[in-house]
Chain A
Amino acid sequence: EAQVTQNPRYLITVTGKKLTVTCSQNMNHEYMSWYRQDPGLGLRQIYYSMNVEVTDKGDVPEGYKVSRKEKRNFPLILESPSPNQTSLYFCASSWRRNTGELFFGEGSRLTVL
Protein backbone atom coordinates (compact mmCIF):
# COMPACT_ATOMS: atom_id res chain seq x y z
CA GLU A 1 0.00 0.00 0.00
CA ALA A 2 1.33 3.42 -1.00
CA GLN A 3 1.70 5.54 2.08
CA VAL A 4 3.53 8.19 4.05
CA THR A 5 4.26 7.03 7.59
CA GLN A 6 4.97 9.37 10.47
CA ASN A 7 6.10 8.53 13.99
CA PRO A 8 5.24 9.20 16.68
CA ARG A 9 1.59 10.05 16.11
CA TYR A 10 1.28 11.65 19.52
CA LEU A 11 3.97 13.08 21.76
CA ILE A 12 4.04 15.18 24.90
CA THR A 13 7.42 16.57 25.81
CA VAL A 14 8.99 19.36 27.84
CA THR A 15 10.72 22.54 26.77
CA GLY A 16 14.27 21.99 25.59
CA LYS A 17 14.19 18.22 25.21
CA LYS A 18 15.35 17.35 21.70
CA LEU A 19 12.99 15.26 19.65
CA THR A 20 12.73 13.81 16.16
CA VAL A 21 9.60 13.08 14.17
CA THR A 22 10.29 10.50 11.52
CA CYS A 23 8.71 10.37 8.07
CA SER A 24 9.02 7.60 5.54
CA GLN A 25 7.38 7.11 2.13
CA ASN A 26 7.27 3.99 -0.02
CA MET A 27 6.33 5.59 -3.35
CA ASN A 28 9.84 6.50 -4.53
CA HIS A 29 8.91 10.18 -4.47
CA GLU A 30 11.70 12.69 -4.97
CA TYR A 31 9.92 15.52 -3.20
CA MET A 32 9.14 15.57 0.53
CA SER A 33 7.92 18.31 2.80
CA TRP A 34 6.89 19.12 6.36
CA TYR A 35 3.89 21.24 7.30
CA ARG A 36 2.42 22.36 10.58
CA GLN A 37 -1.30 22.85 11.02
CA ASP A 38 -2.64 25.37 13.51
CA PRO A 39 -6.26 26.54 13.98
CA GLY A 40 -7.04 29.54 11.83
CA LEU A 41 -3.65 29.42 10.11
CA GLY A 42 -4.10 26.45 7.82
CA LEU A 43 -1.09 24.44 6.71
CA ARG A 44 2.25 26.20 6.74
CA GLN A 45 5.34 24.74 5.16
CA ILE A 46 8.34 24.25 7.43
CA TYR A 47 10.97 22.67 5.16
CA TYR A 48 11.00 20.81 1.90
CA SER A 49 13.37 18.61 -0.05
CA MET A 50 13.51 18.20 -3.81
CA ASN A 51 15.80 15.17 -3.60
CA VAL A 52 18.45 13.44 -1.50
CA GLU A 53 20.77 15.95 0.17
CA VAL A 54 18.71 18.86 -1.21
CA THR A 55 16.65 20.74 1.37
CA ASP A 56 15.29 24.26 1.63
CA LYS A 57 13.36 26.43 4.04
CA GLY A 58 9.64 26.85 3.78
CA ASP A 59 7.63 29.62 5.34
CA VAL A 60 8.15 28.84 9.04
CA PRO A 61 11.54 27.10 9.45
CA GLU A 62 12.65 28.71 12.73
CA GLY A 63 13.32 26.15 15.45
CA TYR A 64 13.37 23.16 13.10
CA LYS A 65 15.97 21.13 11.25
CA VAL A 66 15.66 18.47 8.59
CA SER A 67 17.90 16.05 6.77
CA ARG A 68 17.47 13.94 3.63
CA LYS A 69 20.12 11.23 3.57
CA GLU A 70 17.89 8.65 1.93
CA LYS A 71 15.17 9.13 -0.66
CA ARG A 72 12.45 7.54 1.44
CA ASN A 73 13.13 9.29 4.77
CA PHE A 74 12.77 12.92 5.81
CA PRO A 75 12.97 13.40 9.59
CA LEU A 76 11.98 16.62 11.32
CA ILE A 77 14.20 17.60 14.23
CA LEU A 78 13.33 19.97 17.04
CA GLU A 79 16.65 20.66 18.78
CA SER A 80 15.16 22.64 21.67
CA PRO A 81 11.37 22.52 21.53
CA SER A 82 9.37 25.42 22.88
CA PRO A 83 5.64 25.70 23.70
CA ASN A 84 4.98 27.66 20.48
CA GLN A 85 5.91 24.52 18.57
CA THR A 86 2.89 22.73 19.98
CA SER A 87 1.07 21.82 16.81
CA LEU A 88 -0.11 19.12 14.42
CA TYR A 89 2.63 18.19 12.00
CA PHE A 90 2.25 16.61 8.57
CA CYS A 91 4.81 15.07 6.29
CA ALA A 92 3.99 14.98 2.58
CA SER A 93 5.60 13.65 -0.58
CA SER A 94 5.15 13.71 -4.34
CA TRP A 95 6.92 13.00 -7.59
CA ARG A 96 9.20 15.81 -8.64
CA ARG A 97 7.48 16.47 -11.94
CA ASN A 98 3.82 15.75 -11.55
CA THR A 99 0.41 17.33 -11.49
CA GLY A 100 1.09 18.80 -8.09
CA GLU A 101 -0.63 16.20 -5.93
CA LEU A 102 0.82 15.87 -2.45
CA PHE A 103 0.43 12.65 -0.46
CA PHE A 104 0.18 13.36 3.26
CA GLY A 105 0.90 11.24 6.31
CA GLU A 106 -1.67 10.97 9.07
CA GLY A 107 -0.07 13.60 11.24
CA SER A 108 1.90 13.86 14.47
CA ARG A 109 0.36 15.81 17.31
CA LEU A 110 3.09 17.38 19.42
CA THR A 111 2.59 19.10 22.77
CA VAL A 112 5.49 20.98 24.34
CA LEU A 113 5.00 21.82 28.02
Chain B
Amino acid sequence: QQQVKQSPQSLIVQKGGISIINCAYENTAFDYFPWYQQFPGKGPALLIAIRPDVSEKKEGRFTISFNKSAKQFSLHIMDSQPGDSATYFCAASMRTAGETSGSRLTFGEGTQLTVNP
Protein backbone atom coordinates (compact mmCIF):
# COMPACT_ATOMS: atom_id res chain seq x y z
CA GLN B 1 0.00 0.00 0.00
CA GLN B 2 1.49 3.27 -1.15
CA GLN B 3 1.26 5.67 1.75
CA VAL B 4 2.51 8.66 -0.22
CA LYS B 5 1.07 9.28 -3.67
CA GLN B 6 2.83 11.66 -6.02
CA SER B 7 1.70 13.30 -9.24
CA PRO B 8 2.32 13.89 -12.04
CA GLN B 9 4.65 11.08 -13.08
CA SER B 10 6.31 13.39 -15.60
CA LEU B 11 6.23 17.12 -16.20
CA ILE B 12 7.52 19.31 -19.00
CA VAL B 13 7.88 23.04 -18.36
CA GLN B 14 9.32 25.89 -20.35
CA LYS B 15 12.24 27.86 -18.98
CA GLY B 16 10.99 30.56 -16.65
CA GLY B 17 7.74 28.75 -15.90
CA ILE B 18 6.44 27.35 -12.64
CA SER B 19 6.78 23.63 -11.93
CA ILE B 20 4.29 22.14 -9.49
CA ILE B 21 4.47 18.62 -8.09
CA ASN B 22 1.85 17.30 -5.72
CA CYS B 23 1.85 14.66 -3.01
CA ALA B 24 -0.86 13.22 -0.80
CA TYR B 25 -0.40 11.09 2.28
CA GLU B 26 -2.64 8.90 4.37
CA ASN B 27 -0.97 8.48 7.73
CA THR B 28 -1.76 11.40 10.03
CA ALA B 29 1.18 10.40 12.25
CA PHE B 30 3.64 11.63 9.64
CA ASP B 31 5.49 14.65 11.00
CA TYR B 32 8.25 15.36 8.52
CA PHE B 33 7.88 15.96 4.79
CA PRO B 34 11.04 16.31 2.69
CA TRP B 35 11.58 16.64 -1.02
CA TYR B 36 14.55 14.97 -2.68
CA GLN B 37 16.11 15.83 -6.03
CA GLN B 38 17.85 13.22 -8.15
CA PHE B 39 19.98 13.89 -11.20
CA PRO B 40 20.70 11.08 -13.71
CA GLY B 41 23.37 8.72 -12.45
CA LYS B 42 23.30 10.18 -8.95
CA GLY B 43 21.63 9.39 -5.69
CA PRO B 44 18.78 11.53 -4.36
CA ALA B 45 19.75 14.58 -2.33
CA LEU B 46 17.65 16.55 0.15
CA LEU B 47 16.24 19.67 -1.47
CA ILE B 48 13.85 21.14 1.09
CA ALA B 49 11.71 19.87 3.96
CA ILE B 50 8.79 20.97 6.11
CA ARG B 51 7.11 19.99 9.35
CA PRO B 52 3.33 20.21 9.76
CA ASP B 53 3.39 23.17 12.15
CA VAL B 54 3.88 25.55 9.21
CA SER B 55 1.93 25.89 5.97
CA GLU B 56 4.74 27.04 3.73
CA LYS B 57 8.51 27.00 3.52
CA LYS B 58 10.56 28.80 0.91
CA GLU B 59 14.22 28.36 -0.01
CA GLY B 60 15.23 30.39 -3.01
CA ARG B 61 13.12 29.34 -5.99
CA PHE B 62 11.78 26.27 -4.19
CA THR B 63 8.67 26.39 -2.01
CA ILE B 64 6.80 23.68 -0.14
CA SER B 65 3.10 24.30 0.47
CA PHE B 66 1.52 22.14 3.15
CA ASN B 67 -2.20 21.53 3.74
CA LYS B 68 -2.60 19.49 6.90
CA SER B 69 -6.40 19.15 6.74
CA ALA B 70 -6.26 17.85 3.17
CA LYS B 71 -3.16 15.72 3.89
CA GLN B 72 -1.44 17.16 0.88
CA PHE B 73 1.80 18.96 0.19
CA SER B 74 3.36 20.29 -2.95
CA LEU B 75 6.64 21.54 -4.37
CA HIS B 76 6.67 24.73 -6.42
CA ILE B 77 9.71 25.63 -8.49
CA MET B 78 9.55 29.25 -9.58
CA ASP B 79 11.41 30.51 -12.66
CA SER B 80 12.23 26.92 -13.64
CA GLN B 81 15.63 26.43 -15.30
CA PRO B 82 17.02 23.65 -17.52
CA GLY B 83 19.38 22.80 -14.65
CA ASP B 84 16.31 21.91 -12.57
CA SER B 85 15.62 18.96 -14.89
CA ALA B 86 15.73 15.96 -12.58
CA THR B 87 13.55 13.44 -10.82
CA TYR B 88 11.84 14.75 -7.69
CA PHE B 89 10.64 12.58 -4.84
CA CYS B 90 8.38 13.63 -2.03
CA ALA B 91 8.59 11.66 1.19
CA ALA B 92 7.09 11.46 4.65
CA SER B 93 8.11 9.97 7.95
CA MET B 94 7.21 9.84 11.60
CA ARG B 95 9.23 9.43 14.74
CA THR B 96 9.50 5.85 15.90
CA ALA B 97 10.24 5.37 19.58
CA GLY B 98 11.76 8.83 19.74
CA GLU B 99 14.23 8.22 16.93
CA THR B 100 15.00 10.43 14.01
CA SER B 101 12.29 11.21 11.52
CA GLY B 102 14.65 10.17 8.75
CA SER B 103 14.76 6.56 9.76
CA ARG B 104 11.50 5.45 8.16
CA LEU B 105 11.04 7.69 5.18
CA THR B 106 8.27 6.61 2.82
CA PHE B 107 8.80 7.94 -0.67
CA GLY B 108 6.38 8.88 -3.41
CA GLU B 109 6.65 7.41 -6.90
CA GLY B 110 8.75 10.25 -8.28
CA THR B 111 8.22 12.97 -10.91
CA GLN B 112 10.53 13.37 -13.85
CA LEU B 113 10.79 17.10 -14.55
CA THR B 114 12.08 18.41 -17.86
CA VAL B 115 12.63 22.13 -18.28
CA ASN B 116 12.98 23.11 -21.92
CA PRO B 117 15.26 26.03 -22.81
Contacts and interface: CB of A to CB of B under 8 A. Distances in A.
Interface of A: 4, 31, 33, 35, 40-45, 48, 50, 59, 90, 92, 94-102, 104-107
Ordered nearest first, which 7 A-B pairs have the shortest CB separation? A104-B43, A100-B102, A100-B101, A43-B107, A42-B109, A42-B107, A101-B46
Contact of A4 (B6, B32, B36, B43): B43
Given A43-B107, A44-B107, A31 B102 contact: yes
B100 A96 contact: yes
Contacts of A99: 49, 100-102
Measured as residues with beta carbon below 8 angstroms from the partner, the interface class of chain B is 20 to 34
Nearest to B33: A100
B89 A43 contact: yes
B41 interface: yes
Contacts of A90: 43-44
A100 B109 contact: no
Interface of B: 6, 9, 32, 34, 36, 41-46, 49, 89, 93, 99-110
B99 A96 contact: yes
| Most chain A CB within a 10 A radius of its CB, from B42, B43, B104 | B43
Given A31-B100, A98-B100, A101-B46, A42 B105 contact: no
Contact of A50 (B43, B99, B108): B99
